[in-house]
Amino acid sequence: MESGPSKVAEVIVGCLLPPACREETLGDMRERYRSGLGYFTEALQVVPFVIYSRICRTTDAVVALMEAASMYTAFLVVAKWIDPNLVLADSGLARLAIPPVVVLAVMCVADAYSAPGRHWPLKPLFAPILAFAAAYAVQTMYRQWSLPAVVFSLGCATGLLLVSTLRLAFPPLTDRPQAAKAPGFWQKLEMAQISTSPTSALVLLVVILYLLKVANHIGHK
């Protein structure tokens, strides 16, 4: 029986695991090691579940919903302003939803892989910038579902501004103060250092609801 997995195998599996769960997961897999094939099979089963579990721990569903609503509203308003026929097209609304979905998915994964012990001023903005870059890559790869260049550019600019504001006000869960058995961060309306007033949170919510109302009004014209 082999004494343990090879260093190369551990490095590969470790690169796939989120940093916060890496050492613990690799240690458990090392203890259960029996063969190279068994280690590979276990990695295929364990890694996806660890990533999913980490995403659940680092993603605030309420904040994610606000981010998705703000981004989709931005693209919808820009499209109605620049290219009204796009909104009226059969697949127009679905095409406008693709960039926000890609951005939200990439931000959730980026937050899951973020090292909780590392803090730097622009950390809340790293995930949105990376996510919008991924949305641009998808826009380039799938031309049949892509948006007009002007609509995509202005939508991304507006969406990035709104999402960055939300993430500065409501940081990812790993960057928030932790307290045992305390209410959710968004429920307490606690703000980051840039703003400590609960009124700021209400203002953000009112702005998003207003944008949704405006988009709905424009869509029915």
Residue by residue, what is the 3-state secondary structure of the chain?
CCCCCCHHHHHHHHHHCCHHHHHHHHHHHHHCCCCHHHHHHHHHHHHHHHHHHHHHHHCCHHHHHHHHHHHHHHHHHHHHHHCHHHHHCCCHHHHHHHHHHHHHHHHHHHHHHCCCCCCCCCHHHHHHHHHHHHHHHHHHHCHHHCCCHHHHHHHHHHHHHHHHHHHHHCCCHHHCCCCCCCCCHHHHCCCCCCCCCHHHHHHHHHHHHHHHHHHHHHHCC
Based on its alpha-carbon atoms, the radius of gyration of the chain, rounded to whole angstroms, reads: 21
Kindly state whether residue 209 falls inside one of the protein's structural domains: yes
Domain assignment present for 134: yes
Predicted TM-score (pTM) of this structure: 0.74
The lowest-confidence range among 84-98, 172-186, 190-204 is 190-204
Tokens matching residue 162: 């709104």
pLDDT in tens, 33-63: 888 888 999 999 999 999 999 999 888 888 8
* 189 belongs to a structural domain: yes
Residue 193 lies in a domain: yes
201/126 same-domain check: yes
**Residues 96, 41 within the same domain:** no
> Within a domain: residue 2?
no
- 109 and 196 share one domain: yes
The predicted pLDDT at position 188 comes to: 45
Domain end point (choices 55, 70, 87): 55
Identify the domain containing residue 20 by its residue range: 7-55
Looking at the structure, tell me whether residues 68 and 147 fall in a common domain.
yes
Domain total for the chain? 2
If you average pLDDT over every residue of the chain, what do you get? 80
25 pLDDT exceeds 60?
yes
Q: Examine the domain organization and report whether 100 and 137 are in the same domain.
A: yes
**Are residues 29 and 67 both part of a single domain?**
no
User: Average pLDDT, stretch 129-155?
Assistant: 90
Answer yes or no: do 28 and 117 share one domain: no
69 and 105: one domain?
yes
Phi, psi (rounded to 5 degrees) for 176: -100, 155
Within this chain, do residues 72 and 178 fall inside the same structural domain, yes or no?
yes
* Domain contains 111: yes
Residues 44, 78: one domain? no
- Domain ends where: 39, 55, 71? 55
**Position 1 in a domain:** no
Claim to verify: residue 159 and residue 81 sit in the same structural domain:
yes
Residues 51 and 97 in one domain: no
The HSE-up count of residue 105 (CA atoms within 13 Å, CB side) is: 9
Q: Span 84-90, mean pLDDT?
A: 86
Q: Which residue has the tokens 């979905």?
A: 101
